[in-house]
C-alpha cells in the first residue's frame, strides 16, 4: 500500500520507520530540511504537501496542530477513495482542515497514538509495542456491503503486528472531550507544580520541605517530566492542545475555580470540605482508590516510603479529584484510554484523596504553599484563555518563556534525562 506521511516529528518518523518494513511504499514530506535529510530506508522524499497527497492510498498527517492548512492542501489533490487520516492530539482542528478541502469522496479515519514507555515512540526504533491508538471512523470507512475500507484494515493490522492496540471512539467531539480532560487539569497540575517549586526554590528530592515525602518526590519528578529538558518536551504540543482543544481550556479553568473554592472553603467550613471529598471518594469508587494504594505499596513503597504522614496538603490533587467526581465527568475517561503517564497522575490524586483528612488539616495549618500554587495556576489559566482566543504561535513562545524556561533554569541537574528517570517510575504501573 502507498502511504503518505506529512510531518516528520517523533510521531511521523515513528511511522516512517515501521511501515516500509511491512512492504508499504512510503512517501513523506516535512518543511524542515534537516528532517528530510534523515529519511529512513524505504521512504521516498516528496517536495510538497500536494505531492504527498497525490501519491497516497492511505494518508497520515503528523504535522503540529497549527498546520491544518497543510492537511487541506494534501487532501484537495487526493485520488477518489483515498483514506485521509491524521494523528493530532486535538481532533477539532484536524476535522476543520478536512472539511475545508471539500472532499466528500475520500474516506476520513482518524487516529491518535498515545505514546507511552517503553520506547516513548521515539524515531530511534519506531517501536509501537505497548502503544495505545485511539481510532475514530469519521466518514466513508465502510463499504456498501458492510465491509471496512481495505486500506484501513491493512494499516491497523500492520500496527497490531508491531504490538499496538486500538480503542474505538465514535465521534470527534467525544475524543476531544476525553483528551481535554486527560490533558487539561492533569497536565496543568504537573506544569504548575514544577513552576511553583521553581519559583519557591524548593527541590523535594533534596530539601526537607513539605514536598519531601514519598508522594511529593514522585509528583516532583512527574512535574519535571511535563516540562522536560530542552528538546524532549515540546511546548508546541502542550500549547497546541490547550489552544486547539476547547475542552482542555474548559478543564483548566474549571480546575482553577475548583482549587480556589477548596482553599476558601477549608477556612470557612472545613466540615463541608471534608464532606465533599468523602463524596468524591464514593463517586470515583473505593475500589479504584484501594487499587491506587495497592499499587503504591507494591511498586513504590520500598523506594519512597508510605504515601501518608507528610506535611503536604496535596491540595492540587484534591482539587483534581473533586473535578473528576462531578456529574458528567466520569473517571472512565481515564480507564477507557489508559496510558501510563495518565495512570500515574490518577494514582497520585487518588492517594491524596484517600488521606484527605490529614491533607485538610495541613491546609488549615497553613504554610503549605497552596496559595502559591493557585497563583501559578491562575496565571496558566489566564494564558490559556487568551491563547485559545488568539490561536497563534506567539502564545507558544510565551508559554515556553513563562513556564518551561524557569523550571529548566531552576532544576538543571534533575531535569536532565527526566524522561528516562520517569519512564522507570511509570513502567512500574
Q: 11-31 pLDDT, tens per residue?
A: 899 999 999 999 999 999 999
Quick check: helix, strand or coil at residue 258?
helix
Residue 179 pLDDT level (bands cut at 50, 70, 90)? confident
The proportion of the chain whose per-residue pLDDT surpasses 70, expressed as a percent, equals 93
Grid cell digits, residue 368: 503549605
More confident: 238 or 155: 155
Classify burial at 387, counting beta carbons within 10 Å of its beta carbon; exposed 0-12, middle 13-18, buried 19 or more.
Answer: buried
Give residue 289's pLDDT band: very low, low, confident or very high (50, 70, 90): very high
The predicted model gives 385-397 an average pLDDT of 90
Residue 81, CB-side half-sphere exposure with 13 Å CA sphere? 7
pLDDT of 412 reads: 94
pLDDT tens-digit profile of 313-370?
999 999 999 998 887 654 554 445 555 677 888 899 999 999 999 999 999 988 899 9
- Does residue 207 carry a pLDDT above 80? yes
Banded model confidence at residue 195, pLDDT cuts 50, 70, 90: very high
Is 359 in contact with 315 (CB distance < 8 Å)?
yes
pLDDT at 403: 95
Instruction: Give the helix/strand (H/E) hosting 64.
Output: none
The SS3 call for residue 399 is helix
57, 82 contact by CB (below 8 A): yes
pLDDT at 333: 47
269 — pLDDT class (breaks 50, 70, 90)? very high
| CA terminus-to-terminus distance, the chain | 37
Q: Which pLDDT belongs to residue 132?
A: 82
- 274 vs 392, residue with greater confidence: 274
Q: Break the chain into its structural domains and give their ranges.
A: 2-170, 176-427
Instruction: Judge: domain 2-170, CATH 3.40.50.720.
Output: yes
Residues 237-263 have pLDDT tens digits of 888 888 999 899 999 999 999 999 999
> Which of residues 347 and 236 earns the better pLDDT score?
347
Task: Reply yes or no on whether the pLDDT at 125 is more than 70.
Answer: no
- The larger pLDDT score, comparing residue 341 to residue 268, is at 268
Neighbours of 274 (CB within 10 A): 16
Give the per-residue pLDDT at 311.
86
Q: Label the pairing between strands 107-114 and 132-139.
A: antiparallel
Which tops the pLDDT comparison, 209 or 406? 406
Per-residue pLDDT at 219 exceeds 50 = yes
d(CA 179, CA 342): 11
Q: Which of 121-135, 173-187, 214-228 has the lowest mean pLDDT?
A: 121-135
Average pLDDT, the chain: 90
pLDDT at residue 191 in the model: 94
As to burial, measured by CB atoms within 10 angstroms (0-12 exposed, 13-18 middle, 19+ buried), residue 304 is: middle
pLDDT score, position 332: 54
Amino acid at each position: 500500500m502507498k502511504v503518505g506521511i506529512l510531518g516528520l516529528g517523533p510521531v511521523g518518523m515513528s511511522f516512517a520507520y515501521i511501515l516500509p518494513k511491512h512492504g508499504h511504499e512510503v512517501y513523506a514530506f516535512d518543511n524542515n530540511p534537516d528532517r528530510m535529510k534523515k529519511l529512513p530506508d524505504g521512504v521516498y522524499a516528496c517536495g510538497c504537501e500536494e505531492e504527498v497527497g497525490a501519491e497516497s492510498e492511505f494518508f497520515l498527517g503528523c504535522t503540529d496542530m497549527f498546520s491544518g492548512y497543510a492537511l487541506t492542501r494534501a487532501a484537495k489533490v487526493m485520488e477518489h477513495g483515498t483514506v485521509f487520516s491524521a494523528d493530532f492530539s486535538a481532533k477539532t482542528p484536524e476535522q476543520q482542515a478536512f472539511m475545508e478541502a471539500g472532499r466528500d469522496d475520500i474516506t476520513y479515519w482518524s487516529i491518535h497514538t498515545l505514546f507511552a514507555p517503553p520506547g516513548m515512540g521515539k524515531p530511534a526504533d519506531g517501536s509501537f509495542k505497548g502503544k495505545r491508538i485511539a481510532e475514530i471512523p469519521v466518514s466513508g470507512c465502510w463499504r456498501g456491503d458492510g465491509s471496512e475500507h481495505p486500506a484501513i484494515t491493512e494499516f491497523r493490522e500492520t500496527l497490531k503486528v508491531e504490538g499496538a492496540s486500538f480503542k474505538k471512539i465514535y465521534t470527534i467531539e467525544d475524543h476531544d472531550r476525553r483528551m481535554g480532560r486527560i490533558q487539561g487539569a492533569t497536565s496543568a497540575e504537573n506544569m504548575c507544580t514544577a513552576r511553583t517549586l521553581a519559583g519557591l526554590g524548593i527541590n523535594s528530592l533534596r530539601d526537607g520541605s513539605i514536598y519531601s515525602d514519598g508522594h511529593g518526590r514522585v509528583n516532583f519528578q512527574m512535574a519535571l517530566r511535563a516540562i522536560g529538558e530542552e528538546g524532549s518536551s515540546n511546548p508546541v504540543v502542550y500549547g497546541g492542545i490547550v489552544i486547539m482543544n476547547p475542552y482542555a481550556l474548559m478543564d483548566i479553568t474549571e480546575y482553577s475555580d475548583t482549587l480556589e473554592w477548596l482553599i476558601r472553603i477549608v477556612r470557612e467550613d472545613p466540615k463541608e470540605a471534608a464532606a465533599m471529598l468523602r463524596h468524591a471518594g464514593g463517586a470515583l469508587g473505593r475500589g479504584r482508590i484501594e487499587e491506587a494504594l495497592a499499587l503504591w505499596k507494591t511498586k513504590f513503597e520500598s523506594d519512597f516510603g508510605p504515601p501518608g504522614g507528610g506535611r503536604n496538603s496535596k491540595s492540587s490533587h484534591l482539587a483534581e479529584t473533586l473535578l473528576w467526581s462531578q456529574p458528567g465527568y466520569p473517571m472512565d475517561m481515564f480507564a477507557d484510554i489508559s496510558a501510563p503517564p495518565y495512570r500515574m497522575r490518577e494514582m497520585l490524586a487518588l492517594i491524596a484523596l484517600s488521606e484527605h483528612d490529614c491533607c485538610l488539616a495541613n491546609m488549615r495549618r497553613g504554610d503549605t504553599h497552596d496559595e502559591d500554587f493557585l497563583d501559578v495556576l491562575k496565571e496558566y489559566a489566564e494564558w490559556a484563555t487568551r491563547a485559545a482566543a488568539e490561536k497563534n504561535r506567539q502564545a507558544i513562545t510565551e508559554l515556553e518563556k513563562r513556564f518551561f524556561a524557569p523550571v529548566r533554569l531552576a532544576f538543571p541537574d534533575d531535569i536532565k534525562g527526566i524522561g528516562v528517570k520517569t519512564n522507570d517510575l511509570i513502567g512500574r504501573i
